């Protein structure tokens, strides 16, 4: 099969979840003999024409001077134009819909028999509180257009699948992200960040309102644990909300913003040796950082929503607000004593069965073959 991945920030991954997914799945498919292309923006530091058997197609992106919010529309348009005019792909995998919709409409992709367009709908972008009402209304329109113009949809979480089924009557294929299980955690790495094993609470997230970081901070600060174990927050503070959080809470010596950690071995070790891990994401699908926390054997306290529960099931504690966080932390030693072995082993088994990268390469390959069969009927 000839497969293209469009609308990522390129591989090898140096950005985020979609890019990590694109790297693992594209390399895995290439190893199986498929012709795989990943479109990459011109500002990506990797300039090679191939990566581990995957062809890299570099497309000019004005994001560096125009900003990602606007520049990504031009990058996606140019990528899709190239894919349709200069290539002969069987399948185009679209990573998210927020900046590709004008190109979908311009090229009227739904009426094309080939290539087949399958769109990963990602999270519920129109629910993100960081956006203004006008932007959220625009995203709501884009969501409708993505459903209308895509040949097929992909949902990375059963909660997302159910949302599109209920709202639009449209089926989507459940295909999740993945995570690697490690056994090479290094306690010595903690010294670099001034940490000691099992002596800190941890958050790893983009510092955005919908990730409920402030609720965790507020609950932590009024709990008994605020004087015993620090709360470590991993993530860039250069977003508006990140700057707000760092300014408001960074003066508390037990609330520590340590920036991003992009060495995965270090990050996995920081996760593994945490006393407990907070996952506050509320509007996404299956968040890669949650899977990585599960694979790193974290004791997880997650925001109470359908997306997180679809992944964690009964293998986590859940909170709705800062009061829940306070109450959980005030009783944390009881909860950990009662549940830690069960939660950790349950989450590891879930990763092995449903979220290993090799399993997900299998699932994507089967799905792509199915798409071709449907197209030939």
Report the sign of the C-alpha dihedral through residues 3, 6, 10, 14, in that order: negative
Q: Distance between CA atoms of 20 and 9, rounded to whole angstroms?
A: 10
Asked whether residue 65 falls in the same domain as residue 98, the answer is yes
**DSSP single-letter state for residue 35:** E
Burial class of 184 by CB neighbour count within 10 A (0 to 12, 13 to 18, 19+): exposed
344 and 366 share one domain = no
Regarding whether 133 and 80 lie in a shared domain, the answer is: yes
Cα separation, 368 vs 372, whole angstroms: 6
* All residues at 6 or more sequence positions from 365 whose CB lies less than 8 Å from its CB, including other chains: 29, 32, 34
Radius of gyration of the chain (CA): 21
At residue 277, the pLDDT reads 98
The predicted pLDDT at position 15 comes to: 65
211 and 70 in a common domain: no
Whether residues 304 and 330 share a domain: the answer is yes
Are 140 and 41 found together in one domain? yes
Q: String of b and e for 213-238 (b: at least 16 CB within 10 Å)?
A: bbbbbbbbbebebbeebbbbbbbebe
Residue 318: its H or E element: strand 317-319
Q: How many CB atoms lie within 10 A of CB 321?
A: 14
Structural domain tally of the chain? 2
Assess whether 232 and 254 both reside in one domain.
yes
Domain span holding position 81? 2-178+356-376
Q: What is the pTM of this model?
A: 0.83
Cα–Cα distance, 109 to 147 (Å, whole number): 12
Report the distance separating Cα 271 and Cα 297, nearest Å: 8
254 and 145 co-located in one domain: no
Q: 270 is written with which tokens?
A: 């920081």
In this structure, the answer to whether residues 26 and 83 fall within a common structural domain is yes
pLDDT tens across the length of the chain (377 residues): 999 999 988 899 876 677 888 999 999 999 999 999 999 999 999 999 999 999 999 999 988 888 777 888 999 999 999 999 999 999 999 988 888 899 999 999 999 989 999 998 876 776 777 778 888 898 889 899 999 999 999 998 888 899 899 999 999 999 988 888 888 999 999 999 999 999 999 999 989 888 999 999 999 999 999 999 999 999 989 888 999 999 999 988 899 999 999 888 899 999 999 999 999 998 776 788 899 999 999 999 999 998 899 899 999 999 999 999 999 999 999 999 999 999 999 999 999 998 989 999 999 999 999 999 998 87
Do 364 and 296 share a domain, yes or no? no
| Same domain assignment for residues 159 and 12 | yes
Same-domain status, 241 and 298: yes
**What is the per-residue pLDDT for 330?**
98
Q: Which of 260, 209, 201, 205 is nearest to 227 (CA)?
A: 201
Identify the pLDDT of residue 264: 83
Check residue 121 and give its pLDDT. Answer: 83
Give residue 70's pLDDT. 82
Domain CATH for 215: 3.40.50.2000
Cα angle, residue 83 at apex, residues 93 and 361 outer, rounded to 5°: 30
């Amino acid at each position: 099969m000839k497969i293209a991945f469009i609308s990522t920030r390129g591989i090898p991954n140096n950005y985020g979840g979609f890019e990590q997914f694109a790297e693992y799945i594209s390399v895995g498919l290439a190893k199986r003999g498929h012709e795989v292309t990943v479109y990459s923006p011109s500002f990506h530091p990797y300039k090679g024409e191939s990566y581990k058997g995957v062809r890299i197609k570099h497309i000019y992106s004005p994001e560096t001077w125009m900003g990602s919010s606007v520049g990504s529309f031009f990058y996606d348009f140019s990528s899709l134009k190239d894919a349709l005019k200069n290539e002969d792909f069987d399948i185009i995998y679209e990573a998210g819909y927020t900046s590709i919709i004008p190109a979908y409409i311009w090229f009227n992709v739904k009426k094309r028999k080939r290539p087949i367009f399958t769109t990963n709908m990602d999270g519920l972008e129109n629910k993100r509180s960081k956006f203004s009402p006008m932007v959220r209304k625009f995203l709501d329109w884009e969501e409708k257009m993505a459903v209308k113009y895509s040949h097929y949809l992909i949902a990375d979480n059963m909660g997302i699948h159910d949302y599109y089924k209920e709202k639009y009557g449209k089926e989507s294929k459940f295909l999740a992200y993945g995570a690697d299980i490690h056994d090479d955690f290094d306690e010595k790495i903690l010294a670099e960040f001034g940490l000691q094993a099992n002596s800190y609470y941890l958050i790893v997230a983009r510092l955005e309102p919908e990730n409920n970081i402030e609720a965790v901070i507020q609950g932590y600060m009024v709990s008994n644990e605020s004087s015993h174990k620090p709360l470590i927050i991993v993530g860039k503070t250069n977003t508006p909300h990140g700057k707000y959080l760092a300014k408001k809470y960074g003066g508390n010596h037990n609330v520590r913003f340590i920036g991003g950690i992009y060495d995965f071995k270090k990050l996995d070790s920081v996760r593994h040796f945490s006393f407990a891990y907070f996952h506050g994401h509320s509007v996404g699908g299956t968040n890669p950082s949650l899977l990585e926390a599960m694979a790193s054997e974290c004791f997880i306290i997650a925001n109470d929503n359908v997306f997180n529960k679809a992944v964690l099931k009964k293998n986590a504690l859940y909170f709705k607000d800062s009061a829940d966080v306070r109450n959980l932390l005030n009783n944390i030693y009881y909860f950990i004593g009662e549940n830690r072995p069960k939660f950790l082993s349950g989450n590891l088994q879930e990763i092995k069965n449903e979220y290993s990268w090799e399993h997900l390469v299998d699932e994507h390959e089967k799905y792509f073959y199915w798409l071709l069969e449907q197209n030939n009927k």
